Amino acid sequence: MINANRAGAVLTVDLNVLVKNYAFLKGQIGNNTVCSAVIKSDAYGLGLEPVALRLAQSDCRSFFVALMDEAITLRSILEKHDKKAEIYLLNGVAEGAESDLDNYDITPVLNSLTEIERWSSHAKRNGRRDAILNVDTGMSRLGLDTRELDTFEANPEIADGIKITYVMSHLACADDRDAMKNREQRELFDNYRVRLGLQHASFANSAGILLGPEYHYDLVRPGAAIYGIQPITDEINKITQAINLKGKILQTRFVDSGGTVGYGATYQTIRKSRLATVAVGYGDGYFRTLGNRGFGYIGTNRVPVVGRVSMDLITFDITDVPEHEAAPGTMIELIGPHYTVNELAIDAGTIGYEILTGLGARYSRNYIGSS
């Protein structure tokens, strides 16, 4: 852990809020539907171990990750703390990874005929093995396409030895409640389920849960909403932001009217100004696109980013903040109740997911509600 006194910024993660978000999502589904948690990419940047353990304490019993190393690390964390859970690997069965899947009790998502054949061959040698079957209904990323589905339907023996626990797909436009694509994908998904004769299904991500019960099926896979990102565009619900990021003022200075700030001199003062330099930059995941666009808060005072964001430093115009409230050592809110992840993402020209997963390793991290 990085010492807060030495760090340029402090990232606070409220695990109690995170659990409340999970409980809210779980409350939207029926008792017969499993609510898993997607904790890939270091739990969306918030820390795999503290997040996984807190969710496990809150009766989350199934997790999805993207990479084998994430799955192995997660299994080790859970076992160290005597927690049991299903771990699902979204990116499938890589050649040579079969023994790791067995050794760490990881269930793969099968995304192609090649992966089905590979896992079936392993199962025939070592005994029946579980898997989730992924079908593509409109994302054109992972999952069996129409041609592969035709082949699989005609040759079901390809999956001999495999117990398919769920068939899954992924919504492309769930963040838009009115998108016709949602219904089109659901209808196609139901068609595939009937063709393949597979009963248990998983379809909904965070936003899909809020689209209604017809999207829930037997297992839902929320991710972003657990961490406080509003899942549906232009809708506010009981999802609450789980993080707060504050950067430390290193130095303040007065600059005369007409003074320039930062690389490229992209900002010029129009009055005598007081500036604060803060120990955060794009090396910490604070986007370079926030130069001359982003904001921070000192108390309730909104202060704009001026000049370019550099690797380790940002500059704010604090002219309108009383000097005693913005001295060196004062913390500026970079993400928090006044300036949310979603708002920061809009100003950065990206999405909240990228903001969270880009949170830097140089922050001192403070976990509230940690076990």
What is the reported pLDDT for 371? Answer: 64
Judgement on whether residues 321 and 357 belong to the same structural domain of the protein: yes
Task: Tell me, yes or no, whether 22 lies in a domain.
Answer: no
Burial class (CB in 10 A: 0-12, 13-18, 19+), 285: buried
| Annotation says 263 is catalytic | yes
Judgement on whether residues 45 and 137 belong to the same structural domain of the protein: yes
Task: Tell me, yes or no, whether 2 lies in a domain.
Answer: no
Neighbours of 156 (CB within 10 A): 10
pLDDT digits (tens, 9 = 90+) for 171-185: 999 999 999 999 999
d(CA 226, CA 35): 11
pLDDT band at 73 (very low <50, low <70, confident <90, very high): very high
d(CA 232, CA 178): 10
Which of 108, 155, 158, 154 has its CA nearest to residue 134?
A: 108
Question: Could you tell me if 249 and 64 are in contact, meaning their C-beta atoms sit under 8 angstroms apart?
Answer: no
What is the reported pLDDT for 233? Answer: 86
In this prediction, residues 261-265 reach a mean pLDDT of 96
Distance of CA 93 to the CA centre of its chain: 22
What is the reported pLDDT for 1? Answer: 67
d(CA 28, CA 213): 8
Would the pTM count as exceeding 0.75?
yes
Judgement on whether residues 338 and 280 belong to the same structural domain of the protein: yes
Encoded tokens for 129: 């093995």
In DSSP notation, 283-320 reads GGT--GGGTTT-EEEETTEEEEB-S---SS-EEEE-TT
Question: Could you tell me if 74 and 38 are in contact, meaning their C-beta atoms sit under 8 angstroms apart?
Answer: no
Does 75 have pLDDT greater than 80?
A: yes
pLDDT band at 236 (very low <50, low <70, confident <90, very high): confident
What is the reported pLDDT for 5? Answer: 75
Residues of the chain above pLDDT 70, percent: 99
Judgement on whether residues 60 and 206 belong to the same structural domain of the protein: yes
Backbone angles phi, psi at 264, to 5 degrees: 75, 0
Judgement on whether residues 186 and 320 belong to the same structural domain of the protein: no
Judgement on whether residues 313 and 168 belong to the same structural domain of the protein: no
Neighbours of 354 (CB within 10 A): 15
State which H helix or E strand residue 78 sits in: helix 68-80
Judgement on whether residues 223 and 175 belong to the same structural domain of the protein: yes
Task: Tell me, yes or no, whether 201 lies in a domain.
Answer: yes
CATH of the domain at 181: 3.20.20.10
In this prediction, residues 161-168 reach a mean pLDDT of 96
E strand segments, 27-183: 34-35, 37-38, 62-65, 86-89, 107-110, 129-134, 162-168
d(CA 157, CA 323): 75
User: Across all residues in the chain, what is the average pLDDT?
Assistant: 95
CATH of the domain at 327: 2.40.37.10
Task: Tell me, yes or no, whether 195 lies in a domain.
Answer: yes
Judgement on whether residues 137 and 251 belong to the same structural domain of the protein: no
Question: Could you tell me if 140 and 172 are in contact, meaning their C-beta atoms sit under 8 angstroms apart?
Answer: no
Judgement on whether residues 306 and 252 belong to the same structural domain of the protein: yes
pLDDT digits (tens, 9 = 90+) for 91-141: 999 999 999 999 999 999 999 999 999 999 999 999 899 999 999 999 999
Where is the domain boundary, 198, 227, 256?
227
Task: Tell me, yes or no, whether 26 lies in a domain.
Answer: no
Judgement on whether residues 89 and 163 belong to the same structural domain of the protein: yes
Judgement on whether residues 189 and 325 belong to the same structural domain of the protein: no
Distance of CA 200 to the CA centre of its chain: 25
Where is the domain boundary, 192, 227, 262?
227
Where is the domain boundary, 196, 227, 258?
227
For the chain, what is the domain count?
A: 2
DSSP-based three-state secondary structure for 91: coil
Judgement on whether residues 73 and 207 belong to the same structural domain of the protein: yes
Task: Tell me, yes or no, whether 25 lies in a domain.
Answer: no
Task: Tell me, yes or no, whether 358 lies in a domain.
Answer: yes
Does 287 have pLDDT greater than 90?
A: yes
Catalytic-role residue among 40, 88, 227, 267? 40
- Range(s) of the domain holding residue 129: 33-227
Task: Tell me, yes or no, whether 24 lies in a domain.
Answer: no
